[in-house]
């Protein structure tokens, strides 16, 4: 079994496996691996309050992004608006089940899980409690980030709007703006999760 106190501040670089000592109080700033230069530790905000704030704000924006129109569309007097999930249901309707599921997972499920876990993990921690299933929750919070592709979807929205710009008048709806903000908050949140420091605190 073995952990003894002499290994407390020792870490192994995830990139080159070199064992080295972290500074005693690495709460702020950035620490790089002596051998390969990989960032061993980076922290710019409060360990708990910053991710919690980002998670709560992201939750509000996620609801807005999915309930308000993404784009208003005017063509030859015909006017309508579309929503974030409309394309996915249309893909299902066309029989592209696998493709629709991939888009659903990357633009809806993954960001939703990311946001819910941020709140689930950090809200109890803010009150000094450890949420049930904390180890798994923190692992999934880290793992889900690379499958959450809202920022890429946003670029897709812009490209699609340009492609149709000649034939139709397209005005971004409230969801487009909130999506832009949501993407920034989620990117910030993904750099603010520090399991190794959290574990030192919750132990």
Partner 1 sequence: MTARELGLLACHTCGLLSRRGAGPGQQVCPRCGAGLHARIPRSLSRTWAFLVAAIFLYLPANLLPIMHVTSLVESRSDTILSGVVFLLLHDSWPLALIVFFASVVVPLVKIAILLYLLLSVRAGSARRPRDRVRLYHFTEFVGRWSMVDVFVVTVLVALVQLGRVADIQAGDGALYFAAVVILTMLAAKTFDPRLIWDNVGRDD
Q: Could you tell me the maximum CA-CA distance found in the chain, to the nearest angstrom?
A: 74
Name, in order, each residue with C-beta under 8 angstroms of 20's C-beta and a sequence gap of 6 or more.
Answer: 10, 11, 13, 33, 34, 40
Q: What is the rounded CA–CA span in Å between residue 156 and residue 179?
A: 12
Q: What is the rounded CA–CA span in Å between residue 202 and residue 110?
A: 26
- Please work out, in degrees rounded to the nearest 5, the angle formed at the alpha carbon of residue 180 by the alpha carbons of 70 and 44: 155
> Counting contacts by CB under 8 A, is residue 120 touching partner 1?
no
Which residue's CB is nearer to partner 1, number 44 or number 89?
89
> Counting contacts by CB under 8 A, is residue 39 touching partner 1?
no
> Counting contacts by CB under 8 A, is residue 36 touching partner 1?
yes
Could you give phi then psi for residue 170, rounded to 5 degrees?
A: -120, 125
Q: How far is the CB of 99 from partner 1 (least distance, A)?
A: 5
Tell me, residue by residue from 74 to 93, as one string, x for binding to partner 1 by CB under 8 A and - for no binding: -xx-x-xxxx--xxx-xx--
Interface residue with partner 1 among 157, 179, 186, 189 (CB under 8 A) is 157
Other C-beta atoms within 10 Å of 105: how many? 15
Interface residue with partner 1 among 43, 56, 57, 102 (CB under 8 A) is 102
16 with 36: CB under 8 angstroms? yes
Which residue's CB is nearer to partner 1, number 28 or number 201?
201
> Counting contacts by CB under 8 A, is residue 191 touching partner 1?
no
Number of residues that bind partner 1 (CB under 8 A): 67
> Counting contacts by CB under 8 A, is residue 19 touching partner 1?
yes
CA distances to 43, 129, 151, 162 from 158, in Å: 33, 43, 11, 6
Residues that bind partner 1 (CB under 8 A): 1-3, 7, 10-12, 14-19, 35-38, 71, 73, 75-76, 78, 80-83, 86-88, 90-91, 94, 96, 98-99, 102-103, 106-107, 135-136, 138-139, 142, 146, 149, 152-153, 155-164, 166-168, 170, 195-196, 198-199, 203
């Amino acid at each position: 079994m073995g952990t003894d106190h002499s290994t407390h501040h020792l870490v192994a670089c995830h990139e080159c496996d070199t064992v080295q000592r972290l500074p005693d109080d690495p709460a702020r700033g950035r620490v790089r691996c002596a051998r390969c230069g990989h960032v061993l530790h980076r922290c710019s905000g409060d360990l708990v309050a910053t991710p919690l704030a980002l998670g709560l704000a992201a939750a509000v924006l996620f609801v807005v992004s999915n309930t308000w129109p993404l784009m208003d569309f005017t063509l030859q007097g015909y006017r309508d608006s579309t929503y974030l999930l409309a394309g996915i249901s249309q893909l299902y309707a066309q029989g592209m089940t696998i493709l629709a599921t991939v888009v659903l997972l990357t633009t809806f499920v993954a960001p939703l899980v990311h946001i819910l876990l941020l709140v689930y993990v950090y809200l109890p921690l803010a009150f000094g409690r450890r949420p049930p299933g904390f180890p798994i929750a923190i692992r999934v919070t880290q793992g889900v980030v690379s499958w959450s592709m809202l920022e890429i979807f946003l670029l897709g929205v812009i490209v699609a709007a340009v492609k149709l710009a000649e034939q139709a008048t397209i005005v971004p709806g409230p969801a487009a703006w909130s999506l832009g903000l949501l993407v920034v908050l989620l990117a910030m949140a993904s750099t603010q999760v520090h399991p190794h420091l959290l574990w030192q605190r919750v132990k």
